[in-house]
Amino acid sequence: MDRLLTALRAPLFIGLGLAAVYLLQTLPFLLYSWRLAGLPLQLLILPTCVAAVICIKRPVLAVMVATVAAGVTTVAVRALHVNEPTILSPLTPVETVAFLIIIMTVVFHADAVAAVIEVGLLCASATFALLFRENTNLYSSETRLNFALCVAVVGIAVMVAIYLRARDGMRRRALTAAVTDAQRAERVELARELHDVVAHHVTGMVVQAQAAMAVSENDPLAAHRLLPGIVNSGSDALTAMRRLVGTLRESEPLYTATTDLDSDVRAAVERAAQAGVPVRLRMELPDSVPQEVGRSVLRLVQESLTNVHKHANAPTEVTVELNRTVSGLRLLVRDDGIGGRVVPVGGSGGYGLVGMRERVELLGGLFSAGEVDGGWQVLAELPLEGTR
């Protein structure tokens, strides 16, 4: 219904405007003139008005109807010797308005070649009216002045249509660019969520499964103790996947806001410890943390611990420090590996550090990562105030 109303709105306004001009032009003639010969002429003008109404949907048909109707009207005016009032052109006022509407519509919508041909037909019809609706001296100054006036009016209509077309093109390009940027940002957010959350849980499952396989022959009970961690990681991965599917179906937001950063970080550390590497946690948080900062801190902790399990070479302990600074939060994650990077099973996409850096920089913070004393260290500082 909304699309139908939008499609009908412009023709309706054009029709109402032309009807008003037509009535203003015709009523004085009907009320004060007894020359019945002029009555058919008023009927011959109607097709031109109809052409202006349909020109948005059928521009070629509108041009043909208006051209033929104006030519027939010119012949009728000459044959019946009717003196019709004119303004800005040799046509009647309602014909002039209709022609200008059709010209502007054609220039606005049609391609250059079609617009030149169609506007040329309308101008030829108007020129025919200029020469034959009255006994005109082709070389008189009045004829030249009327012709120049017609050219000026048509030129102004064409320039206005070109300007409106350029403005519409700029608006469309800006809208397309905005939509493209929004889609790209959404894809980046989805990719980051897949990497930081789903891959985190899947990595935990793989690491614990590998540990279970390594000890299963010598200590079956130890392998059995690792199974609950694998199940929990699998459940968390399924939950994250359902959230992403819900986001793609536009039924729920991409992220769920962190309401208890302390509990979330401790849960992430506990899951990482269950995978086989002890984690030492030191945490001092302010009373309130903005949701964006809390969410990013949690993702940084998860991704850093995931990278320890995937890439660290023989680590015995991981240190996670989360403390308040003068202006924000400082996160440090460091392992005590012996140097060198391990290539995980299935390879690595290489987007972990990129995603962490993007998260921090979007919040106006600082991020660094690199090898320190054989191990790997991730350091991030995020502001608490002025978070975008």
Phi, psi of 317 (to 5 degrees): -160, 150
The DSSP line for 190-217 is HHHHIIIIIHHHHHHHHHHHHHHHHHTT
pLDDT at residue number 289: 85
Query: In this predicted structure, what is the pLDDT of residue 321?
Result: 94
Task: State which amino acid sits at residue 83.
Answer: N
Model-level pTM greater than 0.85? Answer: no
pLDDT recorded at residue 322: 93
Please count the other Cβ atoms lying within 10 Å of the Cβ belonging to residue 252.
13
Local confidence pLDDT in tens for the 388 residues of the chain: 444 334 446 777 877 877 787 777 777 666 655 455 556 777 788 888 888 888 888 888 888 988 888 888 888 777 777 666 667 677 778 888 888 888 888 888 888 888 888 888 888 888 887 777 766 555 566 667 767 777 888 888 888 888 888 888 888 888 788 777 766 766 766 666 666 666 666 766 776 777 777 767 777 776 677 777 777 777 777 776 776 666 566 544 444 545 688 888 988 888 888 777 788 999 998 888 888 888 888 888 888 888 887 788 888 889 999 999 888 899 999 998 887 776 655 555 556 788 788 888 888 899 999 888 888 899 999 998 755 4
Residue 312 and residue 347: Cα distance in Å, rounded?
Answer: 14
Rounded Cα gap, residues 5 and 367, in angstroms: 53
Q: Is the dihedral of CA 235, 240, 243, 249 positive or negative?
A: negative
CA atoms within 13 A on the CB side of 131: 9
Task: Report the alpha-carbon distance of residue 210 to residue 275 in Å, rounded.
Answer: 10
Cα separation of 382 and 361, whole Å?
A: 9
Alpha helices in the chain (DSSP H): 2-32, 38-54, 59-80, 93-109, 112-132, 141-193, 199-215, 220-248, 261-274, 291-311, 352-362
Residues with Cβ within 8 Å of 112's Cβ and at least 6 positions away in sequence, in order, are: none
